[in-house]
Amino acid sequence: MKPLRVGAMVSLALLAACRPSPPEQPQAESAPVAAAAVPAASPPLVAAARRQIGVTLLYDPAYVEMPYPGGDVPAERGVCTDVIVRALRAGGLDLQQSIHQDMRAHFADYPQQWGLQAPNRSIDHRRVPNQMRWFERVGWSRTITANAADYAPGDIAAWKLNGSGLLHIGIVSDRKAADGTPLVIHNIGNGTQEDDILFRHAVIGHYRPVLSGL
């Protein structure tokens, strides 16, 4: 397959996750909330995700050929999965490298919905289903519940968005809404933000990173 054609395919594939369809208004349902005071010292993964707020200002799902390992798109842009990649990388885990290595060895164990015949180290780690599968394979899965107390700061949650059915992913914050629901640090369309969305959509994945420093 010619490179340009591959690029077009993977770009379209990335468009199929993270961002809601046009009729949805996710920011409207994530209106300002009365959040608890920020703890004196946030968990490292939460702090790393929060540092992206005000830096990543755009949602941009364009396919980009990137260096390996340690590759990234420009810091001012990205998608929901890039929030996870950047936060974990700050804690010493390069998800680009880890997913690529695991997919090279176990390609058939990963979702096959994109019609590709081999891993692509520029895009695989930026797909929600691949992140979810890797988290499962390394033993990070936790029970999915509707109980706010079950979601700890630094946990990673994944959703199937209402209406569009697209997949989304974010990091549970140590700040809470007025009703005690943890906020989430994520990029659903307007750059990295911290919102009350944990139970606004169907939770389909709950993960707890098990790494020193996180």
Question: Would you list the DSSP string of 81-102?
Answer: HHHHHHHHHHTT--HHHHHHHH
In a domain, 212, yes or no: no
In a domain, 214, yes or no: no
Q: What SS3 class is residue 2?
A: coil
Domain of residue 58, residue span: 3-20+34-207
For residue 60, what is the DSSP state?
-
* pLDDT tens-place string over residues 145-162: 999 999 999 999 999 999
In a domain, 65, yes or no: yes
Which residues are 145's β-sheet partners?
Answer: none
Task: Specify the number of domains making up the chain.
Answer: 1
In a domain, 70, yes or no: yes
In a domain, 26, yes or no: no
Q: Is the pLDDT of residue 12 over 90?
A: no
In a domain, 202, yes or no: yes
pLDDT tier at 211, thresholds 50, 70, 90: confident
* pLDDT tens-place string over residues 166-184: 999 999 999 999 999 999 9
**HSE, side-chain direction, 13 A CA sphere, residue 211:** 22
In a domain, 28, yes or no: no
